[in-house]
Chains A and B, each alone.
Chain A
């Protein structure tokens, strides 16, 4: 590490005393303001757990039932609070069980610090019990990782870990600590990291680029904004709103950007992407200027790149230089933190209304409403739809809940129909599409925002991938609300089989257990509903409950999510049925 120079802040409370590496790790966490972490103990991390025992008045450790649950809980916590989520595991299988959460956090830019124990230094490479090369394994799915083999490295590396995880485009960092480094003693002192010379987290905004962007926006006849999570991560919600209102530009969002703007804002034209709204998808290919803010042109957003917004000048506001021209060519690239760049852009923007252009969005929404939305949220058929469940949660929660979704049909329906008034309210596994994400993420989200209502919406498939985390809800009395939308199928895969594989339902039919009994086994109040009247009553009861609540809703078995852009098709080839 001698070549990495870290500029440090002077800490007046800097302490110097001989302590073990394990205790040093606790002091590092406390110095970074951590008061909650998730994890699972084991041989190679036991010295740290021993210290956690001693510091339990300052640092709460939540024992998840699987290490994957620890990472997703840490993600939920981070996403809702904007703080760094912390997860801990032992070596070997403990460490490998973190990998899915790391990959999820990497692709969805979530700040995590994961700490793993490792076999003692002299056993490295000997295939010792529970030894695994977690540095090698986690490299492609971490923003940074490092193996500590000497206790004295701990403060500098931990400081760097937190700095890297949360700065610039956030991401997961994994620190692997050999057992000897946990046991050995050294003179501890801690200084926060504020810079790393080889790392430029926030590029300086280029005023010329911003002027060029302003000119394009001001001269545009049919401009469209598509924003992503970069607005939330950059804390630029106010700037985005101001930009939209001043410029009059219709604004659509990616799944990761969902709650950055009030769902009912008149210029909010909905979601883009595979199951996004009709108007913003189709009109992406009619706009003359496409203003992308803190989004990365994921293939689920763009469909076929060959036919994506070819007619438009593209302006890309982005913090990560590597995203520029990665998928879509940017005519104007504005690097920097979205709060800074939008703040600089705002005074250059001319007031406008774009009424005729906005009218087109309204017209197309009407088509979508009549053909899709109305049937989803106000169905007249007997069976329950996922959409009406979400709509009922909107009604009962006053659109104030944090909605945590898993992956699949219910996720698309959830993101389409859940309404938000507050940022950081839609927590989902967007990029990786990790089934099993929602239940642990909801636990983390609740702990990150105890004052808020947290509702997890999960399919019957994904629920069973991390169902063991009910144990955490039970043990720690976490008052999350769990809604399982049960269609007895892996719904999204089944939908694809129906549409593209001649209804050959290969391994998508699920014979499910009695979910209510399982929840009751954990002393969680539980209900199952299958009629509209019962649904309304149950959701009212669930939202009113002060405790955890489990609600299984038996929904139509073979409903499909529309609109849909078939994989690889153009955004203008949206299917409404």
Chain B
């Protein structure tokens, strides 16, 4: 089976140790987590993990099954890139003098739909959100000028299909 990019979304309780439990499922199968983001979700008190892996659909299916089996996980899904809307964010820290000396830098900022978030005496910071390839392109454009620091977030994504977590939770409360 071909390897592909998959985005795994996990809705869970917000408890100490759950990240360890979930990451252990990847560790046990020797699968690398390409990107990880944990945040609150649209439902109060429910956390959302967004995990990106590059592996086969079969492995992804198994991993998601094992994740969903964890007691504090409400529901886990996996999607291909086509089935989700996804973004990453980056910050570039660049020497301030370049902003004035290298006119090309301003064009790069504009062409990439990025913003300057702060300008200090010695450095300025550019923020950019987008798909990984867009970010990589911008990185390649800025690299010749010298990047002092670079950081990228994990992927965040929303699925095109409905997740129905609220319905699932409501069902639980109705049953009990």
27 contacts between A and B (CB under 8 A): A1-B15, A3-B15, A3-B46, A4-B13, A4-B72, A7-B176, A139-B21, A139-B24, A140-B24, A140-B27, A140-B28, A144-B71, A144-B72, A147-B16, A164-B71, A194-B176, A195-B176, A196-B71, A198-B12, A198-B71, A198-B72, A198-B73, A199-B72, A321-B65, A321-B69, A324-B65, A326-B65
- Is A136 interfacial (CB-CB < 8 Å)? yes
> B residues engaging A (CB < 8 A)?
12-17, 20-21, 24, 27-28, 45-46, 61-62, 65-66, 68-69, 71-74, 169, 172-173, 176
- Report whether B74 and A197 are in contact in the complex, using a CB–CB cutoff of 8 Å: yes
List 4 additional contacts besides A4-B72, A135-B20, A325-B61; criterion CB under 8 Å.
A3-B13, A136-B17, A195-B172, A320-B69
- Is A322 interfacial (CB-CB < 8 Å)? yes
Q: How far is the CA of A140 from the CA of B69 in the complex (A)?
A: 12
- Report whether B17 and A139 are in contact in the complex, using a CB–CB cutoff of 8 Å: yes
- Report whether B176 and A3 are in contact in the complex, using a CB–CB cutoff of 8 Å: no
Which residue of A1, A145, A195, A198 contacts B74 across the interface (Cβ within 8 Å)? A198
- Is A143 interfacial (CB-CB < 8 Å)? yes
A contact residues around B62 at 8 Å (CB): 322, 326
- Report whether A322 and B66 are in contact in the complex, using a CB–CB cutoff of 8 Å: yes
How far, in Å, is A535 (CB) from chain B's closest CB?
Answer: 45
Q: How far is the CA of A146 from the CA of B46 in the complex (A)?
A: 19
Q: How far is the CA of A195 from the CA of B28 in the complex (A)?
A: 29
Q: How far is the CA of A325 from the CA of B71 in the complex (A)?
A: 21
How far, in Å, is A18 (CB) from chain B's closest CB?
Answer: 27
Query: A321 — nearest CB in chain B belongs to which residue?
Result: B65
Which residue of A139, A144, A325 contacts B20 across the interface (Cβ within 8 Å)? A139
How far, in Å, is B168 (CB) from chain A's closest CB?
Answer: 9
A contact residues around B74 at 8 Å (CB): 197-198
Q: Specify the main secondary structure of chain A where it touches its partner.
A: mixed
- Report whether A197 and B68 are in contact in the complex, using a CB–CB cutoff of 8 Å: no
Which residue of B14, B20, B24, B66 contacts A3 across the interface (Cβ within 8 Å)? B14
How far, in Å, is B91 (CB) from chain A's closest CB?
Answer: 31
Q: How far is the CA of A323 from the CA of B69 in the complex (A)?
A: 10
Interface size bracket, A side: 20 to 34
Query: B44 — nearest CB in chain A belongs to which residue?
Result: A3
Which residue of A1, A143, A322 contacts B65 across the interface (Cβ within 8 Å)? A322
- Report whether A143 and B28 are in contact in the complex, using a CB–CB cutoff of 8 Å: no
Q: How far is the CA of A273 from the CA of B27 in the complex (A)?
A: 28
Which residue of A145, A322, A324 contacts B17 across the interface (Cβ within 8 Å)? A145
- Report whether A321 and B68 are in contact in the complex, using a CB–CB cutoff of 8 Å: yes
Query: B21 — nearest CB in chain A belongs to which residue?
Result: A139
Query: A2 — nearest CB in chain B belongs to which residue?
Result: B45
Q: For chain A, residues 122 to 164, give those with C-beta under 8 angstroms from any C-beta of chain B.
A: 135-136, 139-140, 143-147, 164
How far, in Å, is A345 (CB) from chain B's closest CB?
Answer: 24
How far, in Å, is A202 (CB) from chain B's closest CB?
Answer: 12
Which residue of B24, B65, B169 contacts A197 across the interface (Cβ within 8 Å)? B169
Q: How far is the CA of A324 from the CA of B62 in the complex (A)?
A: 9
B contact residues around A135 at 8 Å (CB): 17, 20
Question: Taking A164-B71, A322-B62 as contacts, is the C-beta distance between A136 and B14 under 8 angstroms?
Answer: no
A contact residues around B176 at 8 Å (CB): 7, 194-195
Q: How far is the CA of A195 from the CA of B174 in the complex (A)?
A: 12
Query: A1 — nearest CB in chain B belongs to which residue?
Result: B15
B contact residues around A198 at 8 Å (CB): 12-13, 71-74
Q: How far is the CA of A325 from the CA of B64 in the complex (A)?
A: 12
A contact residues around B27 at 8 Å (CB): 140
Interface centre among A143, A145, A321, A322 (most CB of B within 10 A): A322
A contact residues around B169 at 8 Å (CB): 197
Question: Taking A198-B12, A325-B61 as contacts, is the C-beta distance between A143 and B172 under 8 angstroms?
Answer: no
How far, in Å, is A139 (CB) from chain B's closest CB?
Answer: 5
Which residue of A143, A146, A322, A323 contacts B68 across the interface (Cβ within 8 Å)? A322
How far, in Å, is B21 (CB) from chain A's closest CB?
Answer: 5
How far, in Å, is A336 (CB) from chain B's closest CB?
Answer: 15
- Report whether A4 and B24 are in contact in the complex, using a CB–CB cutoff of 8 Å: no
Query: A163 — nearest CB in chain B belongs to which residue?
Result: B71
Please provide the 3 A-B residue pairs with the shortest distance between their CB atoms, ordered closest to farther.
Answer: A322-B65, A3-B45, A7-B176
Q: How far is the CA of A194 from the CA of B24 in the complex (A)?
A: 28
Q: For chain A, residues 321 to 345, give those with C-beta under 8 angstroms from any C-beta of chain B.
A: 321-326
Q: How far is the CA of A505 from the CA of B69 in the complex (A)?
A: 42
Q: How far is the CA of A135 from the CA of B17 in the complex (A)?
A: 8
A contact residues around B172 at 8 Å (CB): 195, 197
Question: Taking A3-B14, A7-B176 as contacts, is the C-beta distance between A322 and B73 under 8 angstroms?
Answer: no
A contact residues around B21 at 8 Å (CB): 139-140
Interface centre among B13, B16, B66 (most CB of A within 10 A): B13
Q: How far is the CA of A453 from the CA of B14 in the complex (A)?
A: 48
Q: How far is the CA of A287 from the CA of B69 in the complex (A)?
A: 32
Q: How far is the CA of A237 from the CA of B127 in the complex (A)?
A: 63
Q: For chain A, residues 183 to 230, give those with C-beta under 8 angstroms from any C-beta of chain B.
A: 194-199
How far, in Å, is B158 (CB) from chain A's closest CB?
Answer: 21
How far, in Å, is B65 (CB) from chain A's closest CB?
Answer: 3
Q: How far is the CA of A7 from the CA of B175 in the complex (A)?
A: 11
Query: B25 — nearest CB in chain A belongs to which residue?
Result: A140
| Binary per-residue interface labels of chain A (301-324) against chain B in the complex, 1 for a CB within 8 Å, 0 otherwise | 000000000000000000011111
B contact residues around A143 at 8 Å (CB): 71
Query: B47 — nearest CB in chain A belongs to which residue?
Result: A3
- Report whether A199 and B71 are in contact in the complex, using a CB–CB cutoff of 8 Å: yes
How far, in Å, is B139 (CB) from chain A's closest CB?
Answer: 35
Q: How far is the CA of A143 from the CA of B73 in the complex (A)?
A: 12
B contact residues around A196 at 8 Å (CB): 71
Query: B63 — nearest CB in chain A belongs to which residue?
Result: A322
A contact residues around B24 at 8 Å (CB): 139-140
A contact residues around B28 at 8 Å (CB): 140
Q: How far is the CA of A145 from the CA of B14 in the complex (A)?
A: 15
- Report whether A322 and B15 are in contact in the complex, using a CB–CB cutoff of 8 Å: no
Q: How far is the CA of A4 from the CA of B15 in the complex (A)?
A: 9
Query: A324 — nearest CB in chain B belongs to which residue?
Result: B65
Which residue of B16, B46, B69, B71 contacts A322 across the interface (Cβ within 8 Å)? B69
B contact residues around A197 at 8 Å (CB): 74, 169, 172-173
Q: How far is the CA of A326 from the CA of B58 in the complex (A)?
A: 8
Q: How far is the CA of A196 from the CA of B66 in the complex (A)?
A: 18
B contact residues around A3 at 8 Å (CB): 13-15, 45-46
Q: How far is the CA of A54 from the CA of B54 in the complex (A)?
A: 57
Q: How far is the CA of A195 from the CA of B173 in the complex (A)?
A: 10
Q: How far is the CA of A321 from the CA of B62 in the complex (A)?
A: 10
